[in-house]
Amino acid sequence: MPEGDTVLQTAARLHAALAGQVLTRSDLRVPRFATADLTGRTVLDVTARGKHLLTRIEGGLTLHSHLRMDGAWRVFAPDERWRGGPGHQIRAILGNTEHTAVGYRLPVLELLRTDEEDRAVGHLGPDLLSPDWDPAIALDRLLAVPDRPLGEALLDQRNLAGIGNVYKSELCFLARVTPWLPVGALPDGVLPRLVTLAERLLHANRDRPTRTTTITSELRTPPPRGPGPAPDTGRPRLRPPHRVQERLYVYGRARRPCLRCGTPIRLADQDDRPTYWCPGCQSGPTP
C-alpha cells in the first residue's frame, strides 16, 4: 500500500531512471492529455510531496501523479518485458534510450505548469519526509478539530502529509489508544510524541524494501543510560509459539494474537478504511 515512504522510494527510482535524460517516448493515456507530446524534452527531476509524485520536465511542465491504493510506477530496461498489470491498466509511459517508466492504474495523472504545482499539492500539511518538516504546524493542525477521531485526523493529508492506513493503525497501537478516540481526549504529551514517532517511522522505512514498525518502541521518552541493567526498549515480548519476526504490530493481523498481550487483533472500518486495533492494549471508543 503506497504511503509516504513508498512514494519517496518510487520518486527515487524514477529520478534515477529519467532525470537528466531526453524523453524519446511519451504516452499519457488519459483523455485530457492524450495528445500531449513530451518527446525531445529533458526530465529535470522527480520528487515526492507527501503521497504525490511530481515529475518536472524541461519547458516549465510538471507531470503530477498519485498512486492512491493500487497505482504503481515501474521502470524497465529497453529490452525488458513490462510487468505490473495488463496493458489496459497503463496510464503513462515515459521513456529514454536507457529506461522506460510505466505508470499502472494511476487514479490521478495531470500535466500542469511547474509554477502552478501548488494547485495540486498546496493543500498538503507538513511533509514527514521533507527537509522542511515542521512538527509544530502538524500539531496545530491536528488539534484544530479536537473532536475528530485520531485515525481520521492522521489520514488527513492537510494535517501532515505521508501517513496512510498502515501507519494510522500502527501509530494508534503504539500510542495505546483506539483510532476512534478524539484527538482532544489523548493523554497529555501523547500527541507530540506520536507526531515525532510518525516522522521517525517513515524515515526508518524510507530505504527499506519491506515496511516495518516493530523496530521502534512505545510512545515514551527513553530512560537515561547509566549503570545497571539495560533499559527496557518496549519491544513486544513474544510468547511461544509466536517467536517469529513480525513486521507490523496490528495491521493485517486480524484475529491473530497481539504481540504485546496476546488478545486477538480486531478489524473494523473507519471512514471506509480497514482499521486494526488491539482491544487489550488500546483504550478508547470502538465501533
Known catalytic residues are 2-3, 51, 273
Q: Is 210 exposed, middle or buried (0-12, 13-18, 19+ CB in 10 A)?
A: exposed
Hey, what long-range contacts does 228-234 have (CB within 8 A, 24 or more apart)? Answer: none
What single DSSP character describes residue 114? Answer: G
DSSP three-state, residue 82: coil
- What the block records as the C-alpha cell of 175 is 500510542
Residue 235 has phi, psi (to 5 degrees) of: -70, 150
Do residues 275 and 265 lie in contact, with contact meaning Cβ atoms separated by under 8 Å?
A: no
CA distances from 12 to 7, 17, 53, 76, 287 (A): 9, 9, 10, 14, 39
